[in-house]
Structure 1
Amino acid sequence: MLNGSNFSEWKEHLLLVLALMDLDLSLTKERPSSPKELRRWDRSNRVSIMIMRIRIPQEFRGSVLEDVTTAKEFLNGLENFYAKNEKAERIMLQAEFFSMSYREYENVREFIMRMKTVVAKLKKVGINDYQDDKIVAHFAIKMLPLRYARLKNVYRRLEEKFNNENGYLCFGDIWSTSELISRCDMEEEWEA
C-alpha cells in the first residue's frame, strides 16, 4: 500500500504485479490503432488504473487528477506527486552507508549484505562510487568490532605493503567481500 514515503518500492511491486498478470501493455506501449490490439490495450489500461487506485489509501487518492485517461498518465501523476527529491535521497543514502555499524546480533555476512543493499540503492539514484566489491569490503573491515582486531591488523599490514610496493594509497584493493567473509568465518572458528 502506498503511504507517501514508499513510492519507489510501491512502484516496483506494482510493475511486477502488472507484468505477471500481463497487464503492463498500457504502460509500455502507446495506444494502438488496430481494433484487436486496441481491445487488449484498453483492458490493460482500465485494469491497471483500477489496481493502482486500490493500492492507494483513500486519503491519498486526491493526489492524482480524476481526468487522467491512461495508466501511464496515472502513474506519472503519482510519480510527480510522491517521488522524493533525488538530491535529498542521495544524501540520505550516503549518510546511511557511512553511518552503518556492525550489530552485535548479526554475523559478518549479514552486515556485508546490509551494506550491499545500501550500495544497490545508491546505484539506483546514480551514485556508482561504491560499486566495486573491494571498496565495500574496505569499509566493512573498518566497521568490524574489536573481536576482529587481529584480522583488521592483517588487512592494515597488507594495505601498507601494497602502498609501499605501488607508491600510491590503496583504497579497497586487498580483499573482496567474499574473501572478507571467509576470513571472518575462519577467525570465528579459530576463536571457538
Structure 2
Amino acid sequence: MELDMALRVDESPTLTDTSTPQEIAKHKRWERSNRLSIMFMKSYVIKGIRGFIPESHKANEFIQAIEEQFFSSVKALASIVMKKLSSKTFENFRIVRKLIMEMRDMSAQLKSLEVDIFESFFVHFILNSLPFEDTPFKISYNTHKY
C-alpha cells in the first residue's frame, strides 16, 4: 500500500506539462501516501495535544511538530514537579515518612524526565520541609560526619 512512502521518500518536484507518466504516477502515489499518513497520525494524537500542533501538509513536518510539542511538554512537566517538590511542607502530612516517600517519588519522576537532583540537595529539601519540632533531628543530621 506504500503508506510510509511519504515518510521515506522526498516529495517529487512539481509536475509540469513535460512530466513523464512515471513521474506523474510516482507523484500521485506520494501524495496519497502523504495524505493517508497525516490522517492516520492525526487519528492517534490526543485531541488535547492536536490543537497545539501547527497544521502541516506533509507527514514529515507533522512528525517534527509533534516532537517539538512533546519536548516542550516534558520541560513543562519537569518544571511542575520541581515546583511541587520545592514547596512541599509537613503541614499537609500526618506522618514524616509519608512526606519523605512522596518527595522521593517526585525525585524519581524528575530523574525519568532527565532532570538530575544531587542527593545532598534532595536531603536538604526534605530537612527544610520538616516541622519546627524536628529541629534536634536537623541539627543531628547537619553535625553528623560522613
With the length of structure 1 as denominator, give the TM-score of the two structures. Answer: 0.40
With the length of structure 2 as denominator, give the TM-score of the two structures. Answer: 0.48
